[in-house]
């Protein structure tokens, strides 16, 4: 597992908690999407498993190598479509929410004695997707944990978690990455990006990766020009990104549509910033007049458009799974 990029002060604080023995049994890592919360969560838990010298995790001991390879039995990851060291329920299927069957499977793992670590190490990704039943089942684990686990709930929508869950976890707030840091993450992943992409990503490496995936730079530039003269209709945008294609081209088209939604979301965000007098980065200077015009819309309208783009992102993922 590679070291996280950015968040130096936050990482130092987590290290101090480990070294001082002052860590909680449950955290919430909350902050914008794509800024490295999941990566920091994995790094933090790896440090608990590490048997090497400080600074931990060392990355070279047997435990670190096992965890990085997905073979450390006391490390568990649970999400909507991901299970690591958790048995899949017999009727399990990908869906929009984290089901109670998945939480029950996790609780079964937590009920046994750890093999190596002092306690089980758990990441629950996209924790806002817990439904009422699974959230209440998880709450029982948080209230009466077996042994001394370290459970990290990762979320970009803190307000959607049950208040009772929030009250039983130590919340760690993440900010956005510096532009150079988000660009470093995307370079490490092998993506090429434009400066327009970097500006629109607004400090989110995940958003920058989504913008650049699929090689749709030309279409993104065209969409930006469309936005400069008025928000395009969905069919116009679909054709721009090839969603009218069929067969093998459909997967690439979905990547393009995701990039379009990310761009729409970023456009509304920058319009809101422009509305309240925030200076635009140099990369967006040519769109300054268009953003100023967009900023004339009421803030509630701009926020609603951003929410609409956010709402479409998970739907697009579900459509991709159904069509695969």
What DSSP letter does each residue of 206-253 carry, written as one string? HHHHHHHTTS-HHHHHHHHHHHHTSPPPHHHHHHHTTTT--TTHHHHH
Burial of 298 (C-beta count, 10 Å sphere; 0-12/13-18/19+): exposed
Per run of 10 residues, the mean pLDDT along the chain (length 324 residues) is: 84 94 95 88 96 91 93 92 78 74 93 93 95 95 91 94 96 86 69 60 61 55 54 53 52 60 74 83 71 80 74 57 45
pTM of structure: 0.68
100-110 and 132-143 helices, crossing angle to 10°: 20
Per-residue DSSP letters for 165-207?
HHHTSEEEE--PPPHHHHHHHHHHTT----HHHHHHHTT-HHH
pLDDT computed for residue 250 by the predictor: 53
From 268, 168, 263, 265, select the one nearest 222 (Cα to Cα): 263
pLDDT of residue 147: 84
* Residue 192 phi, psi dihedral angles, 5° rounding: -100, 145
Per-residue confidence (pLDDT) for residue 200, from 0 to 100: 59
- For the chain, domains (ranges, CATH) are 8-173 (3.40.50.300), 179-323 (no CATH)
Per-residue confidence (pLDDT) for residue 294, from 0 to 100: 76
How far is residue 98's CA from residue 78's CA, in Å, rounded to a whole number? 8
pLDDT at 320: 45
| Confidence at residue 142, expressed as pLDDT on a 0 to 100 scale | 95
What is the pLDDT, as a whole number, of residue 323? 45
């Amino acid at each position: 597992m590679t070291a996280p990029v950015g968040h130096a002060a936050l990482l130092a604080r987590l290290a101090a908690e480990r070294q001082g023995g002052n860590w909680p049994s449950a955290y919430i890592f909350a902050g914008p999407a794509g800024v490295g919360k999941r990566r920091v969560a994995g790094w933090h838990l790896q440090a608990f498993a590490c048997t090497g010298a400080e600074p931990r995790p060392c990355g070279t001991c047997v435990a670190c190598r096992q965890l990085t390879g997905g073979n450390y039995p006391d490390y568990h990851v649970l999400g909507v479509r991901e299970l690591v060291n958790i048995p899949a329920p017999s009727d399990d299927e990908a869906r929009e929410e984290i089901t109670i069957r998945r939480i029950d499977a996790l609780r079964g793992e937590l009920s046994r004695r750890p093999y190596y670590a002092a306690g089980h190490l758990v990441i629950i990704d996209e924790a806002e997707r817990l439904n009422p039943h699974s959230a209440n089942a998880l709450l029982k684990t948080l209230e009466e944990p077996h042994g001394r686990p370290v459970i990290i709930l990762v979320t970009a929508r803190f307000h959607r978690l049950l208040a009772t869950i929030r009250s039983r976890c130590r919340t760690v707030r993440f900010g956005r990455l510096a532009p150079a840091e988000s660009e470093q993450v995307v370079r490490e992943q092998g993506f090429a990006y434009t400066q327009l992409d970097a500006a629109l990503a607004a400090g989110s490496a995940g958003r920058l990766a989504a913008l650049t995936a699929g090689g749709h730079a030309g279409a993104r530039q065209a969409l930006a020009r469309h936005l400069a003269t008025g928000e395009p209709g969905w069919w116009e945008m679909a054709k721009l990104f090839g969603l009218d294609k069929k067969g093998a081209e459909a997967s690439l088209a979905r990547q393009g549509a995701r990039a379009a939604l990310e761009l729409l979301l970023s456009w509304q965000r920058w319009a809101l910033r422009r509305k309240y007098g925030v200076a635009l980065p140099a990369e967006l200077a040519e769109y300054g007049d268009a953003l100023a015009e967009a900023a004339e819309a009421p803030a509630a309208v701009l926020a609603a458009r951003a929410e609409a783009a956010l709402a479409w992102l998970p739907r697009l993922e579900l459509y991709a799974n159904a069509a695969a």
